[in-house]
Chains A and B, each alone.
Chain A
Amino acid sequence: MSDYILEMHNIVKEFPGVKALDNVNLKVRRGEIHALVGENGAGKSTLMNILSGTYPYGSYTGDIIYNGETCKFTNLRDSERKGIVIIHQELALIPELSIGENMFLCNEHKGKFGIDWDKTFNEAEKHMEQVGLKEDPRTLIKDIGTGKQQLVEIAKALSKKVELLILDEPTSSLNEKDSKMLLDLLMSFKKQGMTSIIISHKLNEISYCADNMTIIRDGTTVETISNENHDIDEDRIIKGMVGREMSARYPERERHISNEIGMEVKNWNVYHPIYTEKKVVDNVSFNVKRGEIVGFSGLQGAGRTELAMSVFGKAYGTGIKGELTINGKSVTLKSVNDAIDAGLAYVTEDRKGNGLILSESIAKNTTMADLKKICKNGIINVDEENKAAEEYKEKMHTKAKNVSQNVGDLSGGNQQKVLLAKWMFTDPDVLIVDEPTRGVDVGAKYEIYCIMNDIVSQGKSIVMISSEMPELLGMCDRIYVMNEGRIVAEMSASEATQEKIMAEILKSDK
């Protein structure tokens, strides 16, 4: 078997001032699932954008040989005509249009007079069946979950007669159940002869589904590893990615958990902000001690983010009822400002949407949640601001030219560090971190874990919400399991396993 569907030779791509790709080689066999792994900013997405024609021929050097012929794509349409379809991490669906309309956007079935809607929806249904999506094709995209939206994207690709499917972080916003379903779907397509390239940070997924993987580091290809038996050791991949052995994925921490309770929530109830009769958080009680990291596990939509945001000064939901105690004092938080003053911080899961101002500098983002601290009579001391931002930049090892660089220009991991710095700047006693390592590469993950350990060693408390169970098991002292708005189990980290958590979730499913 030496039939390559795609060969990319000596690809070099330069952006003003940076060499993003330096002599990259990639060979993909026909009918395999090929994984592309590497740290954030290693150049994976850039490479795929070249392949799909997003960066047109001429803006890079090197050859793309697809199905035996040299290709010179100048835009997305060129590559799609050849059967190469890319699905980006941020889905390209329009929320206000239906599944069918989205699927054939720019590719409409034309009838005698305008669009032939019967044919459109009929065809849509056919492709939806292929991906196992049971929905009315007239349903609007905004009314279905992220998992199903991902399936719509794949169905859309199928409608374009795809031969080579490229998926950029397809599971980054999916829970484990949906992720597995998606990967199984890819493997069933493989049997039908489709080739896919998958970019992912989740190494367990790669070892589960990929036949071969190419590792990219700092813009060059390091090696291609075969994974024929789907049993590759994750540490082996990490070694290739970071260029050294990673002795431990989670940093050691001396545990000094005090008996004092940092934050306690009792009988907490929250209703949906729009459908006000729908209960999102149902009579939840939990606590976190000083010096402790408490984890929240659960599937997407279990109500963890909603719980956290409603505690954080009612930033989410209506009809919020319950008792809240911080540092032994009973408090009522009416606004985010109250919450910050009470020593609470919430590090959002959506750093681009809810956390950072991408068009502003690191310095301005760092101080945003507690401007008062560097103000005198409402006047900002800019020198003080820069100094503070500089300190956090050093402490967190944020990779940036200087603190006046725009946050939007940083990689995901470094943005996450700025977001953490922003909330550490408010000097909280209790830090709620929501998916702190989403879309962050292995190296930066480790650094973020170190920062979290450092925070609790100062006697502060952390509540950690994560969909990655290994991370919770590796970092937490205690884990709460949430499902459908309720806490269904509580276990110490030493007794918790992935199977146990999953079992609790399934047991509680109504």
Chain B
Amino acid sequence: MNVKVFIRKYTMIIALVVVFVLFAILTGGRLLVPQNLSNLLLQNAYVLIMACGMLMCILTGGNVDLSVGSTVCLVGAVAAQLMAAGIHPLIAIPLCIVIAAVIGIWQGFWIGYIHVPPFICTLAGMFLFRGLGRAILGSKTVAINDPTFLNIFASYINLPGIDDGEVKWSAFIAGCIVAVVLIIHKYVSRNAKMKKGYKLDSAVSEFGKIAIIDVLILAYTWQIAHFRGISVMALWVVAVVLIYEFITSKSAFGRYFYAVGGNEKAAKLSGIDTKKVYFAAYTSMSILAGLSGLIIAARIGSVNGDTGSSFEMDAIGACFIGGASAYGGSGNVVGIIVGAILLGIINQGMSIIGLDNNWQYMVKGAVLLIAVIFDVVSNRKTGKAG
């Protein structure tokens, strides 16, 4: 593989490394402090989760869901009020997810089966659910104090015996287990492939990649072990990311999203139920927005009428920066995760430096524009963009 191909293939990763190193230097190393590394993930948990759902919408043809920020507010508001009324979180949480699903079904129905343009339908939803959320809150800020609720979303894992001291060893042990499992998994799947006589990539590059990922996992878990350990919120994020990675890369239903975005007419004539694809995209998006609503409510500890505002832009931005095509049909979960983390590093790095909020907006805008220009230019070849 020559340099050009390498850069093309790993553009996003290279960009991430460059930005990370840049901010590590600019912040005088403060970005690498355990607390900041831990916060990097937690502060962007909602972006990571919602970007997964947004990817599905974007895959169908560059469509986005503008209503997710409002859904976050609405679901957060319902959760806060339910618990304020003394309802147990184990009842309140499923109820909130059901409400999010209903919102998703509502939008998915109009978009998938009645062909309302997604942009307009979700713009309407953005107003609708924001208003509804504020009405439920009675225009007030409602605090959440229920310890069970906070434990489910915002606590840290503390295993008695291991994590009693200053350093939370459970985090590092978990990191070690994941690292070993990755290596074994690669080894087993290579062997299986070899037995069936399929083509194999070179062992050096495959295990090299795994080695780099393992080192990063070990370094990260080592650092967060020195700051409270693994947070439950991170587990939620990992679960969602793994599910969506599986759907998009391994399942037949996930393949349909790419087909619809690549050529909807051809997909239809191949027997793919395109309506169901749209329906599923917007339903899953709202469910993830609901989950984000709960996570945000737990992290902040209260919900008000402005909770979740402009979250949709963070999710959309992460997807496009992460290489999802603005024309639909291409993009993957790994890419958008990198995009979300890239945005997160820029945000946090600038905050640590103490850069003005206004500047942060400008930098984010520039990064998004560059990412999309890159997509458009590289798409010229496939003839999708003029």
Which residues of A does B touch, CB under 8 Å? 312-313, 315, 335-337, 339-340, 346, 348, 353-360, 364, 368-369, 371-372, 375, 378-380, 383, 386-387, 406, 408, 422
Question: Beyond the given A348-B269, A372-B252, could you list 8 further A-B residue pairs with CB under 8 A, ordered by the A residue number?
Answer: A336-B269, A336-B270, A340-B271, A357-B258, A357-B263, A371-B252, A380-B252, A383-B196
| Most chain B CB inside 10 Å of its own CB: which residue of A372, A379, A386 | A379
Contact at B255–A371, with CB atoms within 8 Å?
A: yes
Min CB distance, A367 to chain B, in Å? 9
- Chain B residues whose CB sits within 8 angstroms of the CB of A422 once the complex forms: 270
CA–CA, A494 to B384, complex, Å?
A: 46
- Name B253's closest neighbour in chain A (CB-CB): A378
Q: Can you list 19 contacts pairing A with B, beta carbon distance less than 8 Å? A: A313-B271, A335-B273, A337-B271, A340-B271, A353-B265, A354-B265, A356-B266, A357-B262, A359-B330, A359-B382, A360-B329, A368-B270, A369-B271, A371-B255, A379-B252, A380-B251, A380-B252, A383-B198, A386-B199
Contact at A357–B271, with CB atoms within 8 Å?
A: no
Interface residues on B, range: 20 to 34
Contact at A386–B258, with CB atoms within 8 Å?
A: no
Contact at A359–B329, with CB atoms within 8 Å?
A: yes
- Chain A residues whose CB sits within 8 angstroms of the CB of B198 once the complex forms: 383, 386-387
The interface bits of chain B over 358-386 (1 if a CB of A lies within 8 angstroms of the residue's CB, else 0) are: 00000000000000000000000111100
- Chain B residues whose CB sits within 8 angstroms of the CB of A375 once the complex forms: 252
* Contact (A380, B273) CB under 8 Å given A353-B265, A354-B266, A358-B383: no
The interface bits of chain B over 25-56 (1 if a CB of A lies within 8 angstroms of the residue's CB, else 0) are: 00000000000000000000000000000000
Checking A340, A378, A406, A408 against B252 with a beta-carbon cut-off of 8 angstroms, the contacting residue is A378
CA–CA, A368 to B263, complex, Å?
A: 12
B259 interface hit (Cβ, 8 Å): yes
Min CB distance, A101 to chain B, in Å? 20
B88 interface hit (Cβ, 8 Å): no
CA–CA, A380 to B199, complex, Å?
A: 17
B185 interface hit (Cβ, 8 Å): no
* Contact (A358, B382) CB under 8 Å given A340-B271, A364-B255, A375-B252: yes
- Name B192's closest neighbour in chain A (CB-CB): A383
The interface bits of chain B over 161-198 (1 if a CB of A lies within 8 angstroms of the residue's CB, else 0) are: 00000000000000000000000000000000100101
Contact at B258–A379, with CB atoms within 8 Å?
A: no
- Chain A residues whose CB sits within 8 angstroms of the CB of B263 once the complex forms: 353-354, 356-358
B250 interface hit (Cβ, 8 Å): yes
- Chain B residues whose CB sits within 8 angstroms of the CB of A353 once the complex forms: 263, 265-266
- Chain B residues whose CB sits within 8 angstroms of the CB of A335 once the complex forms: 271, 273
Checking A337, A340, A369, A406 against B382 with a beta-carbon cut-off of 8 angstroms, the contacting residue is A406
Checking A340, A359, A372 against B384 with a beta-carbon cut-off of 8 angstroms, the contacting residue is A359
CA–CA, A378 to B252, complex, Å?
A: 5
Min CB distance, B11 to chain A, in Å? 18
- Name B262's closest neighbour in chain A (CB-CB): A357
B115 interface hit (Cβ, 8 Å): no
| Most chain A CB inside 10 Å of its own CB: which residue of B196, B271, B272 | B271
B267 interface hit (Cβ, 8 Å): yes
Contact at A336–B271, with CB atoms within 8 Å?
A: yes
CA–CA, A463 to B273, complex, Å?
A: 26
The interface bits of chain B over 255-291 (1 if a CB of A lies within 8 angstroms of the residue's CB, else 0) are: 1001100110111111111000000000000000000
- Name B270's closest neighbour in chain A (CB-CB): A369
- Chain B residues whose CB sits within 8 angstroms of the CB of A378 once the complex forms: 251-253
CA–CA, A38 to B199, complex, Å?
A: 37
CA–CA, A354 to B262, complex, Å?
A: 11
CA–CA, A207 to B263, complex, Å?
A: 38
- Chain B residues whose CB sits within 8 angstroms of the CB of A406 once the complex forms: 382
- Chain A residues whose CB sits within 8 angstroms of the CB of B262 once the complex forms: 357-360
Min CB distance, A186 to chain B, in Å? 29
| Most chain A CB inside 10 Å of its own CB: which residue of B262, B266, B273 | B266
Contact at B268–A408, with CB atoms within 8 Å?
A: no
Min CB distance, B78 to chain A, in Å? 33
CA–CA, A372 to B253, complex, Å?
A: 10
- Chain A residues whose CB sits within 8 angstroms of the CB of B251 once the complex forms: 378-380
CA–CA, A325 to B16, complex, Å?
A: 59
CA–CA, A283 to B208, complex, Å?
A: 66
Contact at A315–B268, with CB atoms within 8 Å?
A: yes
CA–CA, A240 to B250, complex, Å?
A: 48
- Name B382's closest neighbour in chain A (CB-CB): A359
Contact at A357–B269, with CB atoms within 8 Å?
A: no
CA–CA, A406 to B251, complex, Å?
A: 21
- Chain B residues whose CB sits within 8 angstroms of the CB of A369 once the complex forms: 270-271
* Contact (A355, B255) CB under 8 Å given A360-B262, A383-B193, A383-B198: no
- Name A346's closest neighbour in chain B (CB-CB): B269
- Chain B residues whose CB sits within 8 angstroms of the CB of A315 once the complex forms: 268-269
- Name B246's closest neighbour in chain A (CB-CB): A379
- Name A315's closest neighbour in chain B (CB-CB): B269
- Name A369's closest neighbour in chain B (CB-CB): B270
Min CB distance, B259 to chain A, in Å? 6
CA–CA, A368 to B270, complex, Å?
A: 7
CA–CA, A340 to B253, complex, Å?
A: 18
Contact at A357–B266, with CB atoms within 8 Å?
A: yes
- Chain B residues whose CB sits within 8 angstroms of the CB of A358 once the complex forms: 262-263, 382-384
Min CB distance, B171 to chain A, in Å? 31
- Chain A residues whose CB sits within 8 angstroms of the CB of B252 once the complex forms: 371-372, 375, 378-380
- Chain B residues whose CB sits within 8 angstroms of the CB of A372 once the complex forms: 252
* Contact (A355, B269) CB under 8 Å given A371-B252, A380-B251: yes
- Chain B residues whose CB sits within 8 angstroms of the CB of A340 once the complex forms: 271
- Chain A residues whose CB sits within 8 angstroms of the CB of B381 once the complex forms: 408
- Chain A residues whose CB sits within 8 angstroms of the CB of B193 once the complex forms: 383
- Name A351's closest neighbour in chain B (CB-CB): B266
- Chain A residues whose CB sits within 8 angstroms of the CB of B268 once the complex forms: 315, 336
- Name A390's closest neighbour in chain B (CB-CB): B199
- Name B247's closest neighbour in chain A (CB-CB): A378
- Chain A residues whose CB sits within 8 angstroms of the CB of B330 once the complex forms: 359
Contact at A380–B271, with CB atoms within 8 Å?
A: no
Q: Which of B210-269 contact A (CB under 8 A)?
A: 250-253, 255, 258-259, 262-263, 265-269
Min CB distance, B304 to chain A, in Å? 42
Contact at A355–B266, with CB atoms within 8 Å?
A: yes
CA–CA, A336 to B253, complex, Å?
A: 17
- Name A381's closest neighbour in chain B (CB-CB): B250
Closest CB pairs A-B (n = 6): A357-B262, A337-B271, A369-B270, A336-B271, A357-B263, A371-B252
Contact at B271–A408, with CB atoms within 8 Å?
A: no
- Name A356's closest neighbour in chain B (CB-CB): B266
- Chain A residues whose CB sits within 8 angstroms of the CB of B265 once the complex forms: 353-354
CA–CA, A371 to B381, complex, Å?
A: 27
Contact at B269–A354, with CB atoms within 8 Å?
A: yes
Min CB distance, A348 to chain B, in Å? 6
- Chain B residues whose CB sits within 8 angstroms of the CB of A354 once the complex forms: 263, 265-266, 269
- Name A408's closest neighbour in chain B (CB-CB): B382
Contact at B384–A357, with CB atoms within 8 Å?
A: no
CA–CA, A330 to B356, complex, Å?
A: 73
| Most chain B CB inside 10 Å of its own CB: which residue of A337, A371, A375, A422 | A371
